[in-house]
Amino acid sequence: MMTAPHQPPLWCQLQAVSTVLQAIRRGQSGTAAMDAVALPLRAGVQALSFEVLRCLGRAQALRRQLASRAPPPPVDALLCVALALLWHQEDACYDAFTLVNQTVEAAKKSLVTQPQAGFINACLRRFLRERAALIALTDADPVARWNHPAWWIEQLRVDWPDQWQTILASAGGPGPMVLRVNARQTTPAAYQVRLREAGMDSSPVGDWGVVLASPCAVQLLPGFLDGCVSVQDSAAQLAAPLLLAALPNQSGLRVLDACAAPGGKTAHLLELADVVVTALEIDPDRCERIHQTLARLGLTADVIAADAADVSAWWNGEPFDAILLDAPCSASGIVRRHPDIRWLRRQTDIAQLAAVQARLLARLWPLLKPGGHLLYCTCSVFHAEGEQQLDAFLAGHPQAVMLASPGHLLPLDNAQAGAPMDNRAHDHDGFYYALLEKTAS
């Protein structure tokens, strides 16, 4: 297959994908690993990396069939990259022989992998000859079947005995590109007209969302640079309306958005109501992301770089009418968009994150006025970060009353019972929402 003149050669992209995979295996996030990729390579490398990460369980199982002893990490990574892109040929982005030839070329071009280029070639040629048999040998491996770590699969089986397979299957491809229309500028129906005029098909979702039929670069969206729309999954778009809906006289209300970066939910609150928002984020660099988000949308909030749990360091003593706690979590509900997460997380992370969530709930609850509302949410599908977390909090806080809340939103398809009604296609990220009211007594 010929490479288009304006594209870097495939072998060069495969080298970069292998480097990204090695970084993730060392514990670096996919975002940070991608930032280190040269800009001309980045778009192609990201697309290939996402495909590799979505098929990594199968690729690792196949590599074990081809070489019982693990080769050096750079060689293993390059082999797994090729196998992930080769194994399901019906959906492959390149034909098999091109991928093999370019992978071997990538090995030859690197001083680290060059001595093993022949070994890589032999493994991949054998895979092409024995594809069906080798794939059959890995079918019984749950990690290969579902492309998630074994502990993750088992936790979903425990938490969701009827839906675990659908949840895992939903992570096998990319999520849709969903836009949130800025209520201060336009409506979803009016924005869909602009999209049609730009040659883009779309459909409405929820109260303020629009789903694109095909994703595109944000710079191509009509009015994006002017703050007309933002990219935000339909499940995440529920946060601001849920928090505001049951609060009377919204104008002038003091709202805290804890753990606010990159600012999407802060912005949505300000788009929907004339509220005064304090946005907290522990990472100063991520605070800058909030500032950039608000500036593009023409909105203003009090953005503070601080640990939300260290109340004495940032709170002025005036209680809040409403609190949005989008707590740090496993991000197990957004693996379609961030496929590296499944390979970065460890089983022990869940209990540690649950402890952070409990600490934040306990520290922020006293900052809420009687009659005020706190919305707890996580982009997780694990019970420990959702239902179990709130059950424990309610048991220890008699002033907290659970209001009508969606609970766990699962990334289910149309055939699955229990999918939320906010999205008729049910094609959204996994989330958990609990809305609490603080009683006077």
Q: How many helices and strands, by DSSP H and E, does the chain display?
A: 18, 12
For the segment 182-205, the average pLDDT, to the nearest whole number, is 96
Q: Distance between terminal CA atoms of the chain?
A: 72
The pLDDT value given to residue 425: 47
Closest by CA position to 127, among listed 65, 54, 218? 65
The pLDDT value given to residue 418: 44
The pLDDT value given to residue 251: 81
* Angle value at C-alpha 45, between 39 and 49, nearest 5 degrees: 140
Place of tokens 């191509």: 220
pLDDT of 269 over the 60 cut: yes
Q: Which CATH superfamily is domain 236-438 in?
A: Vaccinia Virus protein VP39 (3.40.50.150)
Average pLDDT, the chain: 93
Question: Within 13 Å and on the Cβ side, how many CA atoms surround 276?
Answer: 7
Q: What percent of the chain has pLDDT over 90?
A: 89
For residue 419, what pLDDT band results from cuts at 50, 70 and 90?
very low
For the segment 90-107, the average pLDDT, to the nearest whole number, is 92
The pLDDT value given to residue 3: 44
The pLDDT value given to residue 413: 55
Residue from 123, 259, 377, 379 carrying the catalytic annotation: 379
354 and 385 Cβ atoms separated by less than 8 Å: yes
pLDDT of 417 over the 70 cut: no
67 and 120 Cβ atoms separated by less than 8 Å: no
C-alpha span between 113 and 206 (Å, rounded):
50
For residues 419 and 271, the model is more confident at: 271
The pLDDT value given to residue 426: 56
Quick: pLDDT tens for 133-172.
Answer: 999 999 999 999 999 999 999 999 999 999 999 999 999 8
Quick: pLDDT tens for 37-58.
Answer: 999 999 999 999 999 999 999 9
Topology of domain 10-147, CATH: N-utilizing Substance Protein B Homolog; Chain A (1.10.940)
C-alpha span between 430 and 410 (Å, rounded):
5
For residue 67, what pLDDT band results from cuts at 50, 70 and 90?
very high
Quick: pLDDT tens for 308-362.
Answer: 999 999 999 999 999 999 999 999 999 999 999 999 999 999 999 999 999 999 9
The pLDDT value given to residue 101: 97
The pLDDT value given to residue 370: 95
The pLDDT value given to residue 7: 78
C-alpha span between 161 and 354 (Å, rounded):
21
For residue 394, what pLDDT band results from cuts at 50, 70 and 90?
very high
For the segment 260-267, the average pLDDT, to the nearest whole number, is 96
Domain positions in the chain are 10-147, 178-231, 236-438
* C-alpha dist (Å) from residue 126 to 122, 279, 384: 6, 56, 44
Q: Which CATH superfamily is domain 178-231 in?
A: Sun protein; domain 3 (3.30.70.1170)
C-alpha span between 37 and 7 (Å, rounded):
15
pLDDT of 440 over the 90 cut: no
pLDDT of 422 over the 60 cut: no
Question: In this structure, what DSSP letter does residue 321 have?
Answer: E
For the segment 95-119, the average pLDDT, to the nearest whole number, is 96
Catalytic (active site) residue 379 = yes
pLDDT of 302 over the 70 cut: yes
C-alpha span between 335 and 171 (Å, rounded):
6
pLDDT of 249 over the 70 cut: yes
Token output for 349: 């992370």
For the segment 254-275, the average pLDDT, to the nearest whole number, is 96
